[in-house]
Chain A
Amino acid sequence: MANPSDQSEVLSRKLHNIFRLLYLQFAFYWATIAAGMFVNYYYAVPATVTPDVGSIFQQFISSVPLFAHVSFAVLSSGMSIPVIILASRVGLKQVVWLHAGAITCRMVGFVTGPLFIYYSTSAVGDPFASNISTFVMASVFLMAVILSFMSRIFIVREDVRIKYIMVSPPSLEVR
């Protein structure tokens, strides 16, 4: 069996990798909202967009702020995957669940985003449904940010625990 201090060293290194990923994720979250707000203020769904999947997804490529918003949204959500993998390796179940929740929230956002464009097309033109879609998208984004924030609190707690209160195995077991 490995020395407890070696094990805590390995754990600590893994936790610091999660910290780095979370820094990146929070940067992408900020970029998502910055680009999203650019879309909010400067983008209007063109009259040429038709309410079908092809035309809506074409918009994600043809509009630069929309493309940036979607790309950062995908990147920020994707950062949860390596965090989940690393957290499960060090046995931080709360972090795994919180990031699984964050990804689920973002999935809802990935549905309501295209729905916003769908309801804003001139053929459908339903401002009520369009507003609801936007509000849901904004709400689930906030929920994902909160869940990611909470995950970091658990990681800090664990980091302090292994650095200052080294409990003997098996609680420090590294998988």
Chain B
Amino acid sequence: MVMRTFTLPKGEELGTLGLKGLRMTLSLCYANFLLYLVLYITGMYINIYITSGVSTIGIGDLLNIFHMLIATLNFAICFIVMTVGFLYGMRRVAFFSLGAVVSIIVATLGGLLFLSSGGGRETSSSATLAGGWIMSALFMLALFLSYYATLKVMRAVRVIEAVGGASSGE
């Protein structure tokens, strides 16, 4: 026979969203990771195969439009998760997501600087290189911050499930 002892969740940020809402937020977070993956792959492809040589990329390039579209969706999801965190009493989720949102904004500005000042590496100015570096480094920072927000949501789901199991006599 399995004996279980239940403790009240001290120091846990469960929020007021409820299990269903948290699960939906978690699904959104997982979808966001797919977007991060697509952003990384398209970004690396552009970086290695388009802008590494004498070629440049412009804002109207199809691959760039796709990359920017994915970045916009990525921003939207981070913003939604941040709002959920602020509205439903999950401070850590809110602040990690806020960090991700700010990082994505700065990364986008870096990307725009990269595009507007040349859009290539070999035929570029120092502004192009700085823009490219800011875009890449801040993208990665956003990925890590989103990950921590996701972990906090996942933990809240798990804790509620565990404690809920106690009340239902599981």
Contacts and interface: CB of A to CB of B under 8 A. Distances in A.
Nearest to A37: B136
Nearest to B3: A168
Contact of A40 (B9, B45, B47): B47
Contact of A34 (B140, B147, B163, B166): B140
A164 B141 contact: no
Nearest to A160: B158
A104 interface: no
A161 B162 contact: yes
B159 A41 contact: no
Interface stretch (B48-56, B67-75, B84-92): B48-56
Contact of B2 (A127, A134, A168): A168
B151 A38 contact: no
B23 to A, nearest CB: 15
B167 interface: no
Interface string A125-156: 00100010011001100100000010011001
* Interface size band for B: 35 or more
Contacts of A167: 2-4
Nearest to B155: A156
Is chain A's interface secondary structure helix, strand, loop, or mixed overall?
A: helix
Nearest to A40: B47
B165 interface: yes
Contacts of A138: 40, 44, 48
B77 to A, nearest CB: 17
B133 A38 contact: yes
Contacts of A29: 140, 144
* Interface size band for A: 20 to 34
Interface in A32-84: 33-34, 37-38, 40-42
Contact of A42 (B40, B47, B129, B158): B129
A86 to B, nearest CB: 18
A164 B170 CA distance: 13
B132 A37 contact: yes
B5 interface: yes
Contacts of B137: 30, 33-34, 37
Contacts of B168: none
Nearest to B130: A41
A155 to B, nearest CB: 10
Contacts of A37: 132-133, 136-137
A152 B159 contact: no
Given A138-B48, A156-B155, A165-B162, 7 more contacts: A33-B137, A135-B44, A160-B158, A163-B7, A164-B166, A166-B4, A167-B4
Interface of B: 2-7, 9, 37, 40, 44-45, 47-49, 52-53, 121, 129, 132-133, 136-137, 140-141, 144, 147, 151, 154-155, 158-159, 162-163, 165-166
